[in-house]
Amino acid sequence: MGRIFEKYFFMYSTVIGLMGFGILSSWVFGREYQDQTFKDLLSLPISRTSLVCAKFFALGLSFLGITVLAIGGTFAMGLCLDFTNFDVLLTGTLLKRLGIVTLYNCSLSFLFPLIASITRGILAPVSTSFVAIIIAAIFGSQPMGRYIPWTISGIYLNNPQLINWISKLMILAILFIGVYGTILWWNYVDQK
């Protein structure tokens, strides 16, 4: 039964985690430019940093909700299929790994708002999320995969011992570039 859950959780981490979170974060920021509503947002008496941070906070809550629904759906499917030999310890380990993988995927998806802001649309960041899932599929089983940010979550879910401090540092760097870069972009570049 644990192997079945591992398969579904791996599918969750790659498809929903990498691509789904990337598309959602691209949409939240990119639609502002496509619909020309960013001008209305910028005219509000709210600091641009607060505005961007609020959008990131809403994205984080959305990612958490999607994760809870995906895990609940997986367990509901297990109940419908009447899995026997339910191992609480194995399931607890998988849920812990899935929580960390969700944090990794959230951190990686915060780069897409920067791409959406720079390109002033959705097409480039969504295309980048598709490229990210292709990179994860190609390099996920390679030894160098643990040094490519888009493959780290899938590798961690299957074998956490392969992930080292360099891998974690790369994810933190992507998070920092995405969040700080988007804040800087909305504060300084979009004033012109």
pLDDT recorded at residue 191: 56
> Can you give the pTM of this predicted structure?
0.80
What is the gyration radius of the CA atoms in the chain, in angstroms? 18
* Model confidence at 173: pLDDT above 90: yes
* Model confidence at 128: pLDDT above 70: yes
* 155 contacts 140 by C-beta, under 8 angstroms: yes
Share of the chain above pLDDT 70, in %: 83
pLDDT recorded at residue 152: 83
∠ at Cα 107 (26, 151), nearest 5°?
95
pLDDT per position as a tens digit, 10-65: 666 667 777 888 888 888 888 887 877 777 777 778 888 888 899 899 998 988 88
Among the residues of 20-148, which ranges form H helices? 21-34, 38-42, 48-80, 88-109, 112-119, 123-139
